[in-house]
Amino acid sequence: MKAFKPHLAELPVYPYEHHRAPIKLDQNESPYDLPEELKGELAERLRELPLNRYPEMDAEGLVHKIAEFEGWPEEGVVVAAGSNVLLTALAMAARRVLDLVPSFSLYKWSARITGTPWEGVPLGPEFELPTTALRAHLEDAEEPGVFFFPNPHAPTGRFWTPEVVRTLVEVAEKSGWVFVVDEAYYQFAPADFKRHARELAQVVIARTFSKAWGLAGIRLGYFLTTPELATEIKKLLPPFRIPSPTALAAELAMDHPGYLAEVVEKIRRERERVYLELKAHPTWKVYKSHTNFLLIRTPNAEAAFKGLLQKGILVRRMDGQPGLEGCIRVTIGTPVENDAFLKAAFELEEASGAEREG
């Protein structure tokens, strides 16, 4: 591969193993699809869509709709086919990437594939925010870059208040850092950072239609930022980047946001129920979450993963990251799916106990 940049030879593909199972709780998707009546309306709109024509160059109509929905200036909205595309573009542009450990694996992966220096600051033993260490990194770095800060945090589910985040942003801005608040799960949390971001010059808020909206299949994410930063980010993105059907689906969803609130409330209730029931598990430790998933520390992540898969339930192993030894992550599904997961989780413990006694 002499034609390719040398650093690519040592890189793996994005870390995800494909498995099939009747109950899929591994990718933090919504268990609820777009409501049937809206799907029908989307089908009608798609019939009128000329697929022989390119979509709008910069998805102007979609950008206008998002700006209106979010109460944000159009000049500061940037869209792409998934927020991961936007995050990777930022990593490509950055002089360096600062990250938390553990964190959403895409940040480090994006830095590595783009050849951008990466550094991670470990969270505390119970995933506390290392404020002192972060301040030191932001203030003392030889040159600024991009700091990826998921809030609520993936994969732990932790949430930090806007006031706590703002203190870090103010430190970062003094040194020239771009501070990315990744709010993929903000609908499930007590608050968000949008109001604060309007007052700050170096903040990017990342949001997605893949989680609460239940539209992971359309692949759409967006940034809310300043017009100046938006202009620089757009330089890294191709034209015609949002397929016309994707734009149609997102615009339709934003026209009917009532279903979103109902879905979020269902998932929040189920998250708390599953959390409380798992707290009674003899050997698994479940962490409080402000997302649509729960992080669980088990005695053996491989055994837990395989045992659940044998029972038809697919979860995500997280034990490959520092600080997540023994951890699995389970997406909150429908009540029926969650009941099946809980039943399997306690059955695995009973089986393990019988083996130990034998």
**Interaxial angle between packed helices 244-255 and 60-70, expressed in degrees from 0 to 180 and rounded to the nearest 10:** 20
The pLDDT of residue 280: 97
DSSP letter at 102?
S
How does strand 221-224 pair with strand 313-314? unpaired
Contact by Cβ (8 Å): 67, 77: yes
pLDDT for the residue numbered 208: 98
CA distances from 345 to 274, 286, 313, 330, 340 (A): 11, 12, 10, 11, 9
Count other C-beta atoms under 10 Å from residue 154's C-beta. Answer: 24
User: What are 139's two structure tokens?
Assistant: 């203030």
Nearest in space to 193 (alpha carbons), one of 294, 70, 107, 316: 70
3-state secondary structure string across 289-325: CCCCEEEEECCCHHHHHHHHHHCCEECEECCCCCCCC
> Residue with structure tokens 């895409």?
106
Angle between helices 131-140 and 162-174 (to 10 degrees): 20
Separation of alpha carbons 75 and 73, rounded Å: 5
* Closest-CA residue to 74 (of 58, 91, 87): 58
The one-letter amino acid code at 170 reads E
pLDDT per residue as tens, the chain (358 positions)? 688 888 888 887 877 778 899 999 999 999 999 999 999 999 999 999 999 999 999 999 999 999 999 999 999 999 999 999 999 999 999 999 999 999 999 999 999 999 999 999 999 999 999 999 999 999 988 899 999 999 999 999 999 999 999 999 999 999 999 999 999 999 999 999 999 999 999 999 999 999 999 999 999 999 999 999 999 999 999 999 999 999 999 999 999 999 999 999 999 999 999 999 999 999 999 999 999 999 999 999 999 999 999 999 999 999 999 999 999 999 999 999 999 999 999 999 766 655 555 5
| pLDDT (0 to 100) of residue 14 | 77
CA–CA distance, 59 with 221 (Å, rounded to integer): 12
Please report where in the chains the tokens 């837990």 appear, as a residue.
Answer: 304
- Give the DSSP H/E element, type plus range, for residue 36: helix 36-47
What the chain holds in terms of domains, given with CATH numbers, is 6-32+259-352 (3.90.1150.10), 49-255 (3.40.640.10)
Measured between alpha carbons, how far is 92 from 103 in angstroms, rounded to an integer? Answer: 19
Query: How many angstroms separate the CA atoms of 222 and 82, rounded?
Result: 7
Taking the whole predicted model, whether its pTM rises above 0.75 is answered as yes
Q: What is the model's pLDDT at position 289?
A: 98
User: Cα-flanking dihedrals φ and ψ of residue 69, to 5°?
Assistant: -65, -40
Residue by residue, DSSP assigns 130-186 as: -HHHHHHHHHH-SS--EEEEESS-TTT-----HHHHHHHHHHHHHTT-EEEEE-TTG
Q: What residues contact residue 28 under an 8 Å CB cut-off, 6+ apart?
A: 154, 185, 211, 291, 292, 293, 329, 331
Find the length of the chain.
358
The residue whose two tokens read 């203030």 is: 139
The 8-class DSSP code of residue 199 comes to T
Q: ω into residue 335 within 30 of 0, thus cis?
A: no
Count Cβ atoms below 10 Å from residue 112 Cβ, excluding itself. 18
